[in-house]
A and B are shown apart, each in its own frame.
Chain A
Amino acid sequence: MKVTVTRSGGFAGIERRGESDSERDPLLSRLVDRVDLGSVPPPGRIPDQFLYEIDIDGAHAVVGEAQLSGPLRELVHHVLGRAH
């Protein structure tokens, strides 16, 4: 299983990208199991908020930081390595 997270937006508009593969990341599938990408609300158009684009083996969703909570938040920060 492969998960990619791309953060865009924010005041700075600087993109960050993280990627993880369950073959090398034992925690990943447990985090993914708790996530339902289909139930993610569309991102509101909030000026300068971060947008997170999440790809789990081809399934795709975009989440605004205001909606990023619970298991999805854990997954996103795990894959992004809580980068800056």
Chain B
Amino acid sequence: MRCTIVPPHMLENVARGDDPALRDLARRTLALSSAQRTERRVLPVESPPPTEDFVPDRTINDAQNRETLPGETVRAEGDPATGDRTVDQAYEWLGVTFDFFEAAYRRNSIDGAGLKMISTVHYGRDYDNAFWNGEQMVYGDGDGVLFTSFTGPLDVTGHELVHGVTQYTANLEYYGQSGALNESVSDVFGSLIKQWHLGQTADQADWLIGQGLLAEGVNGVALRSMKEPGTAYDDPRLGKDPQPGHMDDYVDTYRDNGGVHINSGIPNRAFHLAATGIGGHSWEKAGRVWYDTLTGADLTPTIDFQGFARATLGAATRLYGSDGAETAAVRNAWSGVGVRV
């Protein structure tokens, strides 16, 4: 994947050539390898020479369309590809997620101590969901009408695995504001994993969650937008994206564990504002502030938005000083969504 066999100049010629099919193919290849070149260039700078090379331990299980966990193991760490796209994609994305946490924050897997990463795919029939059950990740294939397979987008895998990271760190209670923060942290790092994989800066990223998950014909671009909560979809069958991006529009509900997938739009947008305010690669500074907050000692399991916001400000101050531009960006981000810090 990381080596291109055809030299770029040759592809560039084909890309300018007369055959439309070849031209398209060459252009796609060029775009792909350019992303990979960026990745190669960026990675050594991002990760200091590690004293210990962390090694992932992945297991992919197949539920064979039943709703029984964990299912049958079809690919373990180091096994060759199975040929089942879903299985191999799940394996691949777990690897990228693991590599991200090692490279960006020197974290060794979900628990920081090399925990086995277990995913079950082909869960249920037409199952439109993915979740973390406290021990492992679970993915449905989608119904093909509204949703494609949940193993497709990298940020979905990142999102679910980060529920595990949160469980082992701040352990944010999955209800109300602490629950919305739990959700938001999963979206934040899910998006950062994708940005890191693509080598994108804050202004290049799409800031979407679940891009590619909506089936063809559904009116929407993704499931959530961190940049503009409430704008990800508007479809007769799915309804309209209900996320607020400001405390003025906070939704009080007992459903969905007190609106954890709804009000997460507010801290999501705060992160986007902080990251774009700081600029550059979002995992480096804004991501570091959020990571230190999540894994530090300042959060209680039932903390609210304001408490979390203050903790990010504390983390930013420790990293960049009280007068730092980064610290100011974090402060502005929270006031931009109506959370007083």
* Bound Cα distance from A73 to B129, whole angstroms: 17
Is there contact, CB below 8 Å, between A13 and B262? yes
For B133, list chain A residues within 8 Å (CB): 46, 49, 66
Contact with A along B123-149 (1 / 0, CB 8 A): 000101111111000000001011100
Is there contact, CB below 8 Å, between B146 and A6? no
- Supposing A46-B133, A47-B132 touch, asked if A9 and B143 sit within 8 A by C-beta, the answer is no
* Bound Cα distance from A48 to B187, whole angstroms: 12
- Supposing A13-B223, A46-B132, A66-B133 touch, asked if A51 and B257 sit within 8 A by C-beta, the answer is yes
For B213, list chain A residues within 8 Å (CB): 12
For B257, list chain A residues within 8 Å (CB): 9, 45, 51
- Supposing A6-B255, A47-B174 touch, asked if A11 and B262 sit within 8 A by C-beta, the answer is no
Q: Is B163 an interface residue (CB 8 A)?
A: yes
Q: Is B152 an interface residue (CB 8 A)?
A: no
Contact with A along B148-181 (1 / 0, CB 8 A): 0010000010011001000000000111000100
For B239, list chain A residues within 8 Å (CB): 14-15
For A84, list chain B residues within 8 Å (CB): 126, 128, 143, 145-147
Is there contact, CB below 8 Å, between B186 and A47? yes
Chain B's closest residue to A48 (CB) is: B131
- Supposing A47-B132, A48-B163, A66-B133 touch, asked if A12 and B255 sit within 8 A by C-beta, the answer is no
Q: How far does the Cβ of B46 sit from chain A's closest Cβ, in whole Å?
A: 28
Q: How far does the Cβ of A70 sit from chain B's closest Cβ, in whole Å?
A: 13
Is there contact, CB below 8 Å, between B156 and A14? no
* Bound Cα distance from A46 to B160, whole angstroms: 11
Is there contact, CB below 8 Å, between A50 and B129? yes
Q: Is B77 an interface residue (CB 8 A)?
A: no
Is there contact, CB below 8 Å, between A11 and B174? no
Q: Is A8 an interface residue (CB 8 A)?
A: yes
Contact with A along B193-219 (1 / 0, CB 8 A): 000000000000000001001000000
Determine the interface band of chain B, counting residues with CB < 8 A from chain A.
Answer: 35 or more
For B129, list chain A residues within 8 Å (CB): 10-12, 48-50
Q: Is A53 an interface residue (CB 8 A)?
A: yes
* Bound Cα distance from A10 to B132, whole angstroms: 10
Is there contact, CB below 8 Å, between B256 and A48? no
Contact of B131 among A6, A14, A15, A49 (CB under 8 A): A49
Contact with B along A30-54 (1 / 0, CB 8 A): 0000000000000001111111010
Q: Is B261 an interface residue (CB 8 A)?
A: yes
Q: Is B81 an interface residue (CB 8 A)?
A: no
Is there contact, CB below 8 Å, between B210 and A12? yes
Contact of A15 among B150, B175, B223, B255 (CB under 8 A): B255
* Bound Cα distance from A53 to B257, whole angstroms: 11
Which A residues form the contact surface with B (CB < 8 A)? 6, 8-15, 45-51, 53, 66, 84
Q: Which 6 A-B pairs have the closest CB atoms?
A: A13-B261, A45-B174, A48-B131, A47-B163, A8-B255, A8-B256
A-B contact pairs, 15 of them (CB 8 A): A10-B128, A11-B129, A11-B150, A11-B159, A12-B129, A13-B242, A13-B262, A45-B174, A45-B175, A45-B179, A47-B132, A47-B182, A47-B183, A47-B186, A48-B163
